Amino acid sequence: MSQNNSGEDITLSQVLTRIGEIKDYMLTRWKRFALFALVFALAGITLSFLLKPKYKAVLTFVLEESKNDSPLSAYAGIASQFGFDLGSLSGSNVFSEDNLTELLSSRKIVEEALLNKNNINGKEQLLVNHFMDSPLLNKWADDELLGTTRFPASRDSFTTVQDSLLFEIFTLVTEKYLTVKNVSAKSTILLVECLSKDEQFSKHLVENLMKSVTDFYISNKTQRARETVAFVKGRTDSIAGALASAELRLAKFKDSRHATIRAEGYMEELRLTRDVQILNAMYAEAVKNLELSKVTLLNQTPLIQVIDNPILPLEVVEITPLKGIIFGALIGLVLAFFWLLVKKIADDAVAVG
């Protein structure tokens, strides 16, 4: 036991001695620490002047949609008399929160957002054309053809160059400026963020993205419900037309009979009256089904609730001269420490050898 304790004491003593040697070594070279800190502080303050500030636009929203046990089950037989099934409208969870984050950064949605018109500095223009005029397009600034390219309002009239350029802009935006994520792992709140050197572009991009994804999401989510409403409305209008025609025939028949009463005429009147009554009952049921299908459509329409919109002036992300000095000096001190530590270890190894 005593030998083990003695060995441990010696080992601990050696460690403490070694730490003391390194500390003394570092203290005797304080000038090098100061030199590193000064050099990197100057580099930091230089960067603070060279790097332009960036503007951060943040939009948060939450998705609210009806559950699978919504009133759809109650309305499953609305159009069954017409051979149309409403029960299949419950749908699947294709547009989940995870899929929605992917959708927000998809080519379709981002390009739609870029091709939206916005009022920028008092001028109505496509956001992508504003992007072309902004300092964000340094990548193609030296290309005379691309630098003068502008996009028309209609996508159908795009040239090959414009199509290719729009794809390059989409790639640049999604890789460099755009972030889509959950606010936290346990939260259902989604966040869309654009960080760029152009304040107007940052703000309008996240707003356009939200508009495009909302329109696309609701249009696809309610497609079958809207088709059902259109179908039932068409049938209702058809029955209404048939009812009006039957009522007109009955009225004309009564006018033609005057006061004459015959068995054959009486039977014809009964037949026409029966047709009108049947069509009246069908029309009443069709109107009820139409109203129910409209309620179903409302219940099936998901709500994307925006929590926070970006408001000008946006948050500015920049390196101030003070931050540049502090962070530069800290980085210089850390690098100096590790450089001197490696140098000390190497010198000791050479001396022992």
pLDDT over threshold 70, residue 136: no
Contact 82, 232 (CB under 8 A): yes
pLDDT at residue number 92: 47
Which of 44-58, 67-81, 152-166, 196-210 shows the lowest per-residue confidence on average (mean pLDDT)? 67-81
Distances (CA, A) of 143 to 132, 169, 196, 316, 343: 12, 15, 22, 30, 49
Instruction: Give CB contacts under 8 A, 24+ apart, made by 340-348.
Output: 340/25, 340/26, 340/29, 340/32, 341/22, 341/26, 344/22, 344/25
pLDDT at residue number 10: 52
Sign of the alpha-carbon dihedral angle for 136, 139, 145, 149? negative
| Residue labelled with tokens 């039977």 | 267
Average pLDDT over residues 221-235: 75
Where is pLDDT greater, at 154 or 254?
Answer: 154
Where is pLDDT greater, at 188 or 163?
Answer: 163
Question: What share of the chain in percent tops pLDDT 90?
Answer: 8
Tell me the pLDDT tens digit for each residue of 231-269: 778 888 888 888 788 778 777 777 666 555 555 556 777
pLDDT at residue number 72: 46
Average pLDDT over residues 177-206: 86
pLDDT over threshold 50, residue 163: yes
Tell me the pLDDT tens digit for each residue of 8-25: 445 777 777 777 777 777
Kindly report the CA angle at 99 between 94 and 102, in degrees rounded to 5?
145
| Residue labelled with tokens 């992917």 | 102
Where is pLDDT greater, at 163 or 256?
Answer: 163
Question: What share of the chain in percent tops pLDDT 70?
Answer: 75
How would residue 73 be classed by pLDDT, with cut points 50, 70 and 90? very low
Average pLDDT over residues 200-209: 92
Which of 63-77, 116-130, 258-272, 335-349 shows the lowest per-residue confidence on average (mean pLDDT)? 63-77
pLDDT at residue number 32: 84
pLDDT at residue number 162: 85
Average pLDDT over residues 100-115: 88
Give the best-scoring range by mean pLDDT among 4-18, 136-150, 226-240: 226-240
Radius of gyration of the chain from Cα atoms? 37
Give the best-scoring range by mean pLDDT among 64-78, 137-151, 221-235, 326-340: 326-340
Where is pLDDT greater, at 21 or 198?
Answer: 198
In the CATH scheme, what architecture does the domain 54-68+93-222+306-316 have? Answer: 2-Layer Sandwich (3.30)
DSSP state letters, 157-184: G--HHHHHHHHHHHHHIIIIIEEEEESS
pLDDT over threshold 80, residue 144: no
